[in-house]
């Protein structure tokens, strides 16, 4: 293994490069989401009130005390982002990475954790991509998925803020998250977040609490869950792990980010693109009763979720109170136009008039 040092304004990052890559072991035509990882990872420790000891090293297991805060009190936040080859393979780009850092730090503040310096984050992400660029697939719907996360690592069993943390970045090639239209079950019992909680933070516990209801929905034949608000159990919140959009009477409607909903980067991008295309976009509360009424009146023409993993994923059925409401996904127009534009910007085949793409190599 060879070693290098990358200098940032915050602290140096020592780099240990693998002697032999595992690239030959990967079948790029069979990439289930989140199960394959590249050669390298980054770790950085926080103690004595500051980030220190940053390293890029071969992908490996972590060694942690079983008394670590994260295992007992759940101090853990994360992000999801992607790197892409340009369509002509002339370079590698990231899509709005500064927004991922901004959201990671917002999540950290909400969970009483230290923020990550911008130079350390960006330098680490870009260096990992440089080292592992051969892992970026250049197939439709595929990308190099990047997962930064922060966990509390103080070995202390007590309900208080940890005084030690680990910041880590792992990455790996992945195929499409869904890849086909999905059906969803509307719950008016289980909820994912409520006002005053931390629904707008990308915290591990936000997702752990959704697993049981989703499994129950799958047993009933649905792919995922359409969540309602925690206060009234009436207003649409999110769909699965995505933000939700409805096309009603020619307009796009999506719930406002009121503290219970994740401030999705793809959500923001979709709104911007839709308005640029001339569509009216309303960010406001929308009740499930309004959605059902629009469907029955023939005015609900499209439903789709948005997120980093899925990008834009159409919904062709929602079940509510024992009845299924079907949508003809083949007739969807807005969702597919926006998805095409967004993926075109990400792959640099469409003009990036919003300056979202960041060149890495």
Q: What is the mean pLDDT of residues 56-80?
A: 97
Domain coordinates in residue numbering, the chain: 2-174, 182-346
Q: How does pLDDT run across 332-344, given as a tens digit for each residue?
A: 999 999 999 999 9
Q: What pLDDT, on a 0 to 100 scale, did the predictor assign at position 163?
A: 97
Q: What pLDDT, on a 0 to 100 scale, did the predictor assign at position 1?
A: 53
Q: What pLDDT, on a 0 to 100 scale, did the predictor assign at position 142?
A: 87
Q: How does pLDDT run across 175-224, given as a tens digit for each residue?
A: 877 778 999 999 989 999 999 999 999 999 999 999 999 999 999 999 99
Of 221, 229, 237, 235, the C-alpha closest to 185 is 221
| Statement: residue 2 has pLDDT above 70 | no
Q: How does pLDDT run across 125-164, given as a tens digit for each residue?
A: 999 999 999 999 988 888 999 999 999 999 999 999 999 9
Q: How does pLDDT run across 218-260, given as a tens digit for each residue?
A: 999 999 999 999 999 999 999 999 999 999 999 999 999 999 9
Q: How does pLDDT run across 6-42, given as a tens digit for each residue?
A: 989 889 999 999 999 999 999 998 888 889 999 999 9
4 pLDDT tier (thresholds 50, 70, 90) = confident
Question: If one looks up domain 2-174 in CATH, what number appears?
Answer: 3.30.470.10
User: H helices within the chain, ranges in order?
Assistant: 69-73, 97-110, 118-131, 204-208, 211-219, 265-276, 288-296, 334-346
Q: What is the mean pLDDT of residues 71-82?
A: 97
- The whole-angstrom separation of Cα 134 and Cα 244 is 34
Q: How does pLDDT run across 261-300, given as a tens digit for each residue?
A: 999 999 999 999 999 999 999 999 999 999 999 999 999 9
Q: What pLDDT, on a 0 to 100 scale, did the predictor assign at position 208?
A: 95
Question: If one looks up domain 182-346 in CATH, what number appears?
Answer: 3.20.10.10
Prediction pTM value: 0.95
Q: Which residues, listed in sequence order, are joined to residue 246 by a DSSP beta bridge? A: 253, 303
Q: Which two structure tokens, joined as six digits, stand for 41?
A: 């990872």
């Amino acid at each position: 293994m060879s070693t290098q040092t990358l200098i940032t304004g915050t602290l140096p990052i020592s780099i240990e490069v693998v002697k032999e890559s595992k690239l030959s072991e990967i079948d790029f035509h069979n990439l289930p989401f989140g199960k394959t990882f590249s050669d390298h990872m980054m770790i950085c420790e926080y103690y004595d009130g500051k980030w220190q000891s940053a390293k890029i090293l071969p992908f490996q297991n972590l060694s942690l005390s079983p008394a670590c805060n994260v295992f007992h009190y759940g101090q853990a936040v994360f992000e999801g982002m992607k790197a892409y080859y340009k369509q002509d393979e002339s370079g590698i780009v990231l899509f709005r990475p500064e927004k991922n850092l901004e959201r990671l730090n917002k999540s950290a503040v909400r969970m009483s954790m230290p923020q990550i310096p911008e130079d350390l984050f960006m330098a680490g992400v870009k260096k990992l991509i440089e080292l592992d660029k051969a892992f970026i697939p250049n197939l439709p719907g595929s990308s190099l998925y990047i997962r930064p996360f922060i966990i509390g690592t103080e070995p202390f069993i007590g309900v208080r803020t940890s005084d030690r943390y680990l910041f880590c970045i792992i990455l790996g090639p992945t195929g499409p998250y869904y890849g086909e239209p999905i059906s969803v079950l509307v719950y008016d019992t289980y909820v994912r977040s409520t006002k005053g909680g931390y629904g707008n933070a990308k915290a591990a516990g936000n997702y752990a609490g959704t697993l049981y209801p989703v499994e129950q929905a799958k047993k009933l034949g649905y792919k995922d869950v359409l969540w309602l608000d925690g206060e009234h159990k009436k207003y649409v919140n999110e769909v699965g792990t995505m933000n939700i959009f409805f096309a009603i009477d020619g307009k796009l409607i999506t719930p406002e980010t009121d503290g219970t909903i994740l401030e999705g980067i793809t959500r923001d991008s979709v709104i911007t693109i839709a308005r640029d295309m001339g569509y009216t976009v309303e960010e406001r509360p929308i009740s499930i009763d309004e959605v059902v009424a629009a469907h029955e009146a023939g005015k609900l023409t499209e439903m789709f979720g948005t997120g980093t993993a899925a990008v834009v994923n159409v919904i062709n059925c929602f079940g509510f109170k024992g009845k299924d409401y079907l949508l003809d996904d083949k007739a969807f127009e807005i969702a597919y136009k926006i998805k095409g534009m967004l993926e075109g910007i990400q792959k640099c085949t469409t003009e990036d008039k919003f300056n979202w793409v960041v060149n890495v190599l």
